């Protein structure tokens, strides 16, 4: 059974470095739990206590690294 948390689908810009992506994960207490899938989407898990809307806003604000983000159903 998967650990609880908020799951977002995220696509990173092709020019985003592993270091940039890693820093984004650390800053948001997140981890990559799947991917890349079709379209370059990764499944990213955030703590259960995180505010889903705030998660999306923070990732969208990192527009130099993130090109797409949506909450997974």
pLDDT of res. 73: 72
What are the C-alpha distances in Å from 42 to residues 20, 36, 37? 15, 5, 6
| Domain total of the chain | 1
> Is residue 1 assigned to a domain?
no
Secondary element (H or E) of residue 7: strand 6-12
> Is residue 16 assigned to a domain?
yes
> Is residue 58 assigned to a domain?
yes
d(CA 71, CA 47): 13
Secondary element (H or E) of residue 23: helix 18-27
The CATH number given to whatever domain includes residue 44 is: 3.30.70.80
Supply the range of the domain harboring residue 43: 6-71
> Is residue 51 assigned to a domain?
yes
pLDDT in tens, the chain (73 residues): 456 899 999 999 999 999 999 999 999 999 999 999 999 999 999 999 999 999 999 999 999 999 999 999 7
């Amino acid at each position: 059974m998967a650990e609880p948390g908020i799951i977002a689908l995220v696509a990173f810009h092709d020019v985003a470095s592993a270091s940039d992506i890693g820093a984004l994960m650390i800053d948001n207490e997140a981890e990559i739990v799947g991917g890349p899938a079709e379209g370059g989407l990764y499944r990213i898990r955030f703590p259960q206590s995180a505010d889903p809307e705030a998660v999306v806003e923070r990732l969208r604000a990192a527009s130099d690294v993130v090109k797409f983000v949506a909450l997974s159903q």
